[in-house]
Amino acid sequence: MPSPDRKISESTVRRLSAYLRSLEALEASGAEMASSGELARRAGTTAPQVRKDLSTFGSFGKRGLGYPVVPLIGSLEAILGLTREWRVALLGAGRVGAALHTYPFFRERGFRIVAIFDNDPEKVGLRWDDTTIRHIDELESVLAGEAVEIAILTVPAAPAPALADRVVRAGVGAILNFAPARLELPPHVVVNEVNLAMELELLSFALTRSEPR
Amino acid sequence: MPSPDRKISESTVRRLSAYLRSLEALEASGAEMASSGELARRAGTTAPQVRKDLSTFGSFGKRGLGYPVVPLIGSLEAILGLTREWRVALLGAGRVGAALHTYPFFRERGFRIVAIFDNDPEKVGLRWDDTTIRHIDELESVLAGEAVEIAILTVPAAPAPALADRVVRAGVGAILNFAPARLELPPHVVVNEVNLAMELELLSFALTRSEPR
DNA sequence: CTTGGGTTGTGAATCTATTCACAAGCGGGC
DNA sequence: GCCCGCTTGTGAATAGATTCACAACCCAAG
């Protein structure tokens, strides 16, 4: 796998993730090979796009035949960094945190939640599966002790920026932010924002423009 | 407001949504005017980008002064379609559904959840606030009766595509899909996918590429 | 009234991403 | 061994988004 030095765009990575899911469906249905056209159909893109995306990372297909399903799954997992375990902390044990914690994807894909934090004394000490909820005061020591690499923020907007700073200072390299607040962090930190407001406003914008005609 | 006919890109709309949030923060802090630079700093983009985005929809600023905060909030709300109420249905009364239902943003912004569905007989009949959970068998009649315009899917991947079809046939024009499944729907339907797997894989990809150096 | 610092609005230039087109390669059939 | 249908891999062309540069404008101060 060439693993190129040049920058890979976010949309390419999102598509790789979609190809992986398509390939897993194909594997489950017993297919051994998949053409770029088939992958495109399932992932919602075009055949040339699939080929270009994959060719960025190597030459995985056989001309005339397509891509071998099982080996390509392995290659994509390697590219996406899914062949190892990631140590994840959950900040905020509210409803969103609970929803994420029970999501089976985490286990299946090796994202292991090793720490949960909240500032509500009622919640501190409770166990979710085999993880005890810790008070946010213990953030730094627990993050270091558990060697946390990814933090998921499911706290209100107000405390989010300060918590993100603390988490980064404690050595966490990536943040998935569900709080509707912008985080200003050093460039080496990977941040990904999921903003429900934005997603709904996208819908209302599109509906508003399409309906009055 | 010119409200142009040419296509507006999704990233532009996402930024408009971010500007709106930035402006609301500025309003709360008592500011009357905001420059493109100030908005860019808060929304995480550049000043020319802010000006270009806004100029797509009209001329909202005053040269030498910036943009008037309160009027621009009103203009952005109008552009994003937030000046009216939207009737929303929640499909799936699990943890994700519960998290969304309690999110105060919905009320604040006029997204009114008028129907909740599940297929679990234990849940059917329960009330969340003042909305009774209905069985999914009643989908079509309730959607029509409540004049639902937006559906939010928080169901497992397997039933998602079929439910999306039913919802669209019942006249719903927009879907926010939290299920990790691709929906193939007629082009007039607005679909927005939120995929936790993708978001996490984006992080693990970036971490994998940045760490080994 | 004029000057000057500051800011918008926008065409042009640049940069990035997607799509196209086709040579190269594979395997099955004869 | 040699076509032939099929599919990849990729440079070139196109389309799309962002950034730049600057004229037009606004207000305050003198």
In percent, how much of chain A has pLDDT > 90? Answer: 92
Q: Tell me: the pLDDT tens digits for A33-83?
A: 999 999 999 999 999 999 999 999 999 999 999 999 999 999 999 999 999
Terminal Cα distance for chain B, rounded: 51
- The whole-number pLDDT of residue B185 equals 95
In CATH, which superfamily holds the domain spanning B86-198?
NAD(P)-binding Rossmann-like Domain (3.40.50.720)
Q: With an 8 Å Cβ cutoff, is A56 touching chain B? A: no
Q: What is the mean pLDDT of chain B?
A: 95
**pLDDT at position B4, please?**
58
- pLDDT-derived band at A148 (thresholds 50, 70, 90) equals very high
Share of chain A above pLDDT 70, in %: 96
Q: How sure is the predictor about B3, in pLDDT bands with cuts at 50, 70 and 90?
A: low
Nucleotide closest in space to A2 (CA vs C1'): D9
**What's the CATH class of domain A10-80?**
mainly alpha
Which phi and psi angles does A205 have, rounded to 5°? -60, -50
Q: Could you tell me how far CA B123 lies from the centroid of its own chain?
A: 26
Q: Is the pLDDT of residue A2 over 60?
A: no
Return the pLDDT at B189. Answer: 96
Of A44, A96, A174, nearest to B99 by CB-CB distance is A96
Q: Do A95 and B102 touch (CB under 8 A)?
A: yes
| Residue A135, beta-bridge partner list | A118
Query: Distance in angstroms, CA of B130 to C1' of C9?
Result: 48
Query: Residue A44 and residue A22: Cα distance in Å, rounded?
Result: 10
Picking from A16, A21, A196, the nearest residue to B105 by CB comes out as A196
pLDDT band at B201 (very low <50, low <70, confident <90, very high): very high
What does the alpha-carbon distance between residue B211 and residue A174 come to, in Å, rounded to a whole number?
Answer: 11
User: What is B10-79's CATH topology?
Assistant: Arc Repressor Mutant, subunit A (1.10.10)
User: Could you tell me if B191 and B177 are in contact, meaning their C-beta atoms sit under 8 angstroms apart?
Assistant: yes
Sorted by where each begins, the domain ranges of chain B are 10-79, 86-198
Tell me the nt nearest to A48, Cα to C1'.
C19
Instruction: Report the residue of chain A nearest B15, measured CA to CA.
Output: A198
Could you tell me the CA-to-CA distances from A213 to A76, A201, B170 in Å, in that order? 44, 20, 20
Neighbours of A65 (CB within 10 A): 11
pLDDT at A105: 87
